[in-house]
Amino acid sequence: MSTNAIISLPDQSTARIPKDNFITRENGLLSWLLTGDHKRIAILYLISITFFFFIGGALAGLIRLELLTPQTDLMATDTYNKVFTMHGIIMIFFFLVPSVPATLGNFFIPMMIGAKDLALPKINLLSWYLYMAGGILAVYTMASGGVDTGWTFTTPLSTHYVNTNVLTTGLAVFVAGFSSILTGLNFIVTIHKMRAPGMTWFRLPLFIWAHYAASILMVLATPVVAIAIVLVALERTFGIGVFDPIKGGDPLLFQHLFWFYSHPAVYIMILPGMGVISEVISTFSRKRIFGYTAVAFSSVAIAVFGFFVWAHHMFIMGISNYAVLVFSLLTMLVAVPSAIKIFNWTFTLYKGSITFETPMIYAFGFLGLFTIGGMTGVFLGASGTDIHLTETYFIVAHFHFVMVGGMLMAFLSGIHFWWPKITGRMYPEKISQFAAVVTFIGFNLTFFPQFILGVLGMPRRYASYPPEFQVLNVFSTAGATILGVGYLLPVLYLIWSLKYGAIAGNNPWQATGLEWQTQSPPLTENFAVMPIMDHEAYDYEWLEQQQQAHKESEATHAG
Amino acid sequence: MPDNPVTSQGASGAAKHAGSADNADILHAGHPPYLRHHFNSTEQQADTANFAMWLFLLTEVMFFGGLFTAYLIYRNWYYPAFVAGSHQLNVVWGTTNTFVLILSSFTMAMGVWCAETRRRKGLVLCLTLTFILGLCFLGIKTIEYREKIEMHHVPGFHYSLQSFLDPASNPEVFKEYHDQPLALDMARHTEIYFSLYFLMTGMHALHMIIGIGILAFMIFRARSGAYTAGHVTFVENFGLYWHFVDIVWIYLFALLYLISRHQ
C-alpha cells in the first residue's frame, strides 16, 4: 500500500458528493449531540462560535454607536461599562480562544496527520459541552444584568467595589477554560501518538506545529487563570483577604496570575491562525513554505517566550522598575519569531505561482494587518511609550489589529479554504472575494483611526470623549458598519452554498495535505485505507508526479 | 483474545469499518472489545491514555502552582504571621494524615500491580483499602477543620485574632511554642495564612473526594473483573492521579505545618 492508493483526483466537472460521508453516516439530532467524531464536533463548534461571535459583534456595534457622538446619549455609562465588558468576555473566551483550534483544528488535525480521530473523542465532546455551558451562562449573565469589571476582572474592583454578576461570569470563564484545557490536551496527545506511518515531526504541516504550540499554552496557562478566578470568587464571597490590601493581600498578585494566562492566551488565539496562513500561502503560491523548519520552531518559540512577558500589561500598575526593564526586553524577543513567520511567508510568495482565491485574499489581509498589529505591539512593549499609550485607544487598536485583523482574517481564510472539504461544495468565488475586500476596508477604517485617537490621548473604556475626537470616532463607527457587512456576507453565502454551491470534488485547490487526498466531505473514519506519508509537507513536485501517474494509468485503462 | 498484532489492523480494520458500521460483531472481529476504533493497537491506546493522564497532571501542577505562588509571596512578606498561624495547626493529626496517605498510595500501587497480574480479588481488596484510607484522611481533616472553626480561625467568618495577640489565651499551643504576641498589624496577616491553609487543603480535599468517588466506581467494576482482563489503563491512570494528590499533600504538610520546625 502506498500513497498512490489514496490519490484519487476525479475530474472536477463530473465530481459527485459521495453518498457515504461523515454527515450522512448517521441521522438525527442525537447522532450529533452524542457524537465522538471530531468532524461533527468541529461543526457543532463552528455553529456555536458563530452564534457567540454575532452576540459579541452586536455588542461591538453598540459600543461604536455610543461613541459616534462625544456625549453619553445612547446608554447610561454603567450600561456602557457592561457592554464593553461583555463584548470582551464573549469575544475572547467564547470566540477567539476556541475559534480556529476547536473548529478547523478539530476537523483537520486528525486528517492532516492521517488519523481516524482525535486521541480522546469523548473528551473532545465533553469540551464542547463545557464550552456551551460556559457560553450559555455568560449569555444568561448578560441578560440578567451583566458585569462591568472589564474582561480583566481587575481586583479590587471585581472583589470589593462592583455589585454586578462577577461570580456567574467568573464561573462561565472558569468552565470555558476547562473546555480549552481539554482541547489543548487532546491535540497534544493526538499529535504525539496518532500520526500515520511516515508522518515524522518534520513532515507535519505547519498548521499542526502551530496548533501544537498553542496547545502547550492552553494546557499550561489556562489552569492558572482558573485558580485566579476561584480566588476572586472566594475573595468576593467570603473575603478571604488574598487580594485585599486591608488584610495584607495584594491586588497585584491577581494581575500576575491573570496575565500569566491572559498574555499567553493571545498566542493561543493567534498561533492557530498563523497555522492557517501557512497552509493557504503555500497552496496558492504552489510552493513549499520557505524555511519550513524555522516557521515550525518559531511557533514553539512564540509559545515559550509567551510565558515570560506577562508583566508588560502591568507597567503602570506599580511593579518595580527592574521588572519593567526585564519584561520590556523579553517582550521585544517575541517580535523575533513573529517576524520570522512574516518574512518566511513573504519569501514563499517570491517566485510562486500566486492566485487570488478568497482564502489568499484573507491571508494577504492577515499579513498586512498582523504586521501593523505586531509592530505597534513593540511600541507598547517599550516601557517608555507604553506609559504614554497604555489605557488609551492605541491599546484597543493594537489588540484589534492582531486579533481581528490577524486572527479573524485567518479564521475566515481557513473557513473558505477548507469549506469545500468540510461540506463538499464550493463557496461562490466572486462574492466571497468581494466580502474579503469589504472586510479589509471596513477593518482599516474602523481601527486605524483608533491608533491616532490613542496617540492623541483618548482613554479607553469611557462612554464619552472630548468633542475634538469626534471626526476620527465617526470614521471608526462608519468602518464598523462596513466591517459588519463584511462579516454578514460570508454567513449568507456560505449557508447558500450548502445547497447551491458547485460540487467541490476531493481536491479543488490541488493541495498536498493529506486532508485533500480523501473524499469531500470525508468518511467518518477519514481515510478508506490508512495513509502512509512518503514525502515532505507542501511537496508540490510530488503532487504533480502523482497527478501525472494518475492520468497515465487512466489513459492505459481507457486504452 | 491476546493482544492482536496490529500491523494488520491499519488496512484491514479501516476497510472493515467502511463496510458495515452497524455490525458490532464484524467491527470487533480481530481485536479485543475495549480497543476503540480510532486506534490501531492496544499498545497505542494505552500509551495515548497514559500520556494524556500525565498531561492532565501537568495542568493540575499549574492549577496548584497559582496557590503555591501566592503562598510563597505572602510567606516571605509575613513570615512571623505564618509561623504563628502554623503553630495553631495540629502537627500530630497532620503527621498521621501524611502516613495515612502514603499508606493509601502503597495500597493503590499494589492495586495497579494486582490489575496487571490479573488478580481480581487482590485488586478489589487494594482498592477497598485505598478507599477506606482516603475516607480516613478526610475524617481527620474534618476534625482539624472543626478545631479551626471552634478557634475562629476561618477567614471571613468572625475571624479572631486573639490567639495571636494573646498567645497565652490558648494554653495548649502556648505550652509547646511559647509564641510572643504579634503586633496588631502582623496578627491581621494570619488571616492570609489561614486563607491559604483552607484554600490549599480544601482544594486538595476536593481532589481526594473526586478520587474517592472514582475509587467507589472502580471497586464496583473491579468486582466483575473489569480491570483484570488485560485492560488496565484506567487503573494505572487513576493510580497516577492518586499518587499526584498524595504528593501535593506532602508539599502542603511541609509548607503549612512545619514552617518553623528548624528553629
Q: Which three cell numbers stand for residue A285?
A: 503560491
Question: What b-and-e string marks burial along A370-385, b requiring 16 or more CB atoms within 10 Å of the CB?
Answer: bbbbbebbbbbbbbee
Report CB contact under 8 Å: B188, A247.
Answer: yes
- pLDDT band of residue A558 (cuts 50, 70, 90) is low
pTM (two decimals): 0.92
Only one residue has cell 458563530, namely A50
pLDDT over 80 (residue A13): no
Residues in chain B within 8 Å Cβ distance of A260: 66
Q: Return the pLDDT at B128.
A: 97
Please indicate whether, in this complex, the C-beta atoms of A241 and B192 are within 8 angstroms of each other: yes
Whether chain B has a CB inside 8 Å of the CB on A68: the answer is no
Per-residue pLDDT, B30: 65
User: Is B195's CB within 8 Å of A241's CB?
Assistant: yes
Q: How far is CA B87 from CA B58, B160, B163, B178, B238, in A?
A: 32, 15, 10, 10, 35
Q: pLDDT for A477-493, tens place per residue? A: 999 999 999 999 999 99
Which ranges of chain B have pLDDT less than 50?
A: 1-26
**Are A530 and B40 within 8 A, CB to CB?**
yes
Chain A residues within an 8 Å CB radius of B73: 250, 253
Q: Could you tell me the three cell numbers for A261? A: 494566562
Rounded to a whole number, what is the distance in Å from the CA of A156 to chain B's nearest CA? 16
- A224: contact with B, CB 8 A cutoff: yes
**Confidence at residue B29, expressed as pLDDT on a 0 to 100 scale:** 56
Say if CB A148 and CB A85 are below 8 A apart: yes
Look at A529 and B156 and tell me if their CB atoms are within 8 Å: no
Answer whether A19 touches B (CB < 8 Å): no
Residue A145 pLDDT > 70, yes or no? yes
Question: Which residue is associated with the grid cell 464619552?
Answer: A464
Mind spelling out the 3-state secondary structure of A109-164? HHHHHCCCCCCCHHHHHHHHHHHHHHHHHHHHHHHCCCCCCCCCCCCCHHHHHCCC
In chain B, the residue whose alpha carbon lies closest to the alpha carbon of A253 is: B70
- Cα–Cα distance for residue pair A504/A189, rounded to 1 Å: 32
C-alpha span between B238 and B243 (Å, rounded)? 9
What pLDDT was estimated at residue A10? 52
Residue that has been written with the C-alpha cell 485574632 in this structure? B161
- In tens, the pLDDT along A370-400 reads 999 999 999 999 988 999 999 999 999 999 9
The Cβ of residue B23 has, within 10 Å, a number of other Cβ atoms equal to: 11
**Grid coordinates belonging to A405:** 485583523
A162: left (phi over 0), alpha (psi -120 to 50) or beta: beta
CB contact under 8 A, B14 and A193: no
Q: How close A256 gets to chain B, by Cα (Å)?
A: 10
Phi and psi torsions of A526, nearest 5° = 70, -55
CB–CB contacts below 8 A, A to B: 133
Average pLDDT score, chain A: 92
pLDDT digits over A14-72, tens only? 678 888 899 998 899 999 999 999 999 999 999 999 999 999 999 999 999 999 999 99
Contact A193 B51 (CB under 8 A): yes
Answer whether A267 touches B (CB < 8 Å): no
Cell of B154: 476561618
* Calpha distance A358→A421 (Å, rounded): 15
**What average pLDDT does this structure show over A289-297?**
95
Contact A534, A1 (CB under 8 A): no
Output the CA–CA distances (angstroms, integers) from residue A322 to A77, A199, A315, in the order listed.
37, 46, 11
User: DSSP secondary structure string, B185-209?
Assistant: HHHHTHHHHHHHHHHHHHHHHHHHH
Give the domains, in start order, of chain B with CATH numbers: 1-31 (no CATH), 42-258 (1.20.120.80)
> Contact A530/B73, CB-based, under 8 Å?
no
Tally of residues, chain B:
263
pLDDT given at position B9: 39
Taking only the tens place, the pLDDT of each residue in B150-175 is: 989 998 878 888 888 888 888 878 88
Q: What letter represents residue A291's amino acid?
A: G
Q: What is the DSSP string of B224-242?
A: TTTTSSS--HHHHHHHHHH
A240, B199: Cβ pair inside 8 Å?
yes
> CA-CA distance, A30 to A46, in Å (whole number)?
18
pLDDT value at residue A545:
80
Nearest to A42 by CA among A403, A496, A526, A379: A526
CA separation for the pair A225, A89 (Å, rounded): 14
A56 CA to centre of own chain:
15
Q: Return left, alpha or beta for A382; rule: phi > 0 is left, psi -120 to 50 is alpha, else beta.
A: beta
Q: Which of B59, B67, B156 sits opposite A239 (nearest CB)?
A: B156
Residue of B nearest to A115 (CA): B38
How much is the pLDDT for B180? 85
- Is there a cis peptide before residue A521, judged by omega within 30 degrees of 0? yes
> pLDDT by residue (tens digit) across A198-244?
999 999 999 999 999 999 999 999 999 999 999 999 999 998 889 99
pLDDT in tens, A404-459: 999 999 999 999 999 999 999 999 999 999 999 999 999 999 999 999 999 999 99
**What's the pLDDT score for residue B7?**
38
**Best of A126, A530, A532, A533 to mutate (most B CBs within 10 Å, chain B):** A530
**B256 min Cα distance to partner chain A (Å):** 16
A3-12, A307-316, B58-67, B167-176: which has the minimum mean pLDDT?
A: A3-12
Question: Binning pLDDT at 50, 70 and 90, where does residue A131 land?
Answer: very high
Closest by Cα among B179, B165, B203 to B259: B179
DSSP-derived 3-state class of residue A519 = coil
